[in-house]
Amino acid sequence: MKFYIPKTPSCIMRFFSKYTWYFSRDVKEIYLTFDDGPTPEVTQFVLDELKKHNAKATFFCIGKNILNHPDIFNKIKNSKHTIGNHTNNHLNGWTTENKDYIDNFLQCEHIISKTLDKRTKPKLFRPPYGKIRKSQATSILKKGYRIIMWDVLSADFDVSTSIEECLRNVLNNTKNGSIIVFHDSVKASEKLKFVLPKVLKELSDKGFIFKAI
């Protein structure tokens, strides 16, 4: 049984209205996001594919991965993509004490802040697994961050999802302003390498522009 939904129900988005789920439905713009990197084996592929379509995206990076792979992190930055906080160790907010969670979030913030101009760095956070307690979210929002969720989940992380189903998850549910979740991780790489080029081509052909948050 799958414990996720490729298209986020509108009732959830309304209930958690302090989070960002999508952008304007009036403009043909799409927001691709990539979680869990940087990962040398995968992130470079993503950057190459985005460049082919002059597409910008947002990378929600894990702090420890930034430290382990500074070269590929710098490539994300130098390619003018947006970088967001994904905690230092990919913590599940539902199973982590508040202080530990916020401390881990701050560790990642510190790592990112050392490499980006604080005056221009967007303050974006995505909770790993999309799981965060209200108290944790309140603390992060008070620090001036936007909590970026999604309205389209590719499910590239799910070993039980076929590459064709992963593609359908994106193409069948994307519309103006959609925030789409992919993962530049080794676990997701097989599906991502099949799906991303097709998504970029098909949605570009339909007139969509890919923007960073």
What does the chain come to in residues?
213
Residue 105 CA: distances (Å) to CA of 35, 63, 66, 110, 179: 15, 9, 14, 9, 22
Tell me which residue has tokens 């190459």: 48
Report how far residue 25's alpha carbon sits from residue 42's, in angstroms, rounded to the nearest whole number.
31
Candidates 35, 36, 151, 184; catalytic one: 35
**Residue 183: active-site member:** yes
- Beta strands 58-61 and 29-35 are parallel
Candidates 69, 81, 90, 183; catalytic one: 183
- Whether 76 and 83 have beta carbons less than 8 Å apart is answered as yes
- DSSP for 73-87, written as a single string: HHHHHHTT-EEEE--
**Residue 110: active-site member:** no
Q: Which residues are catalytic?
A: 35, 183
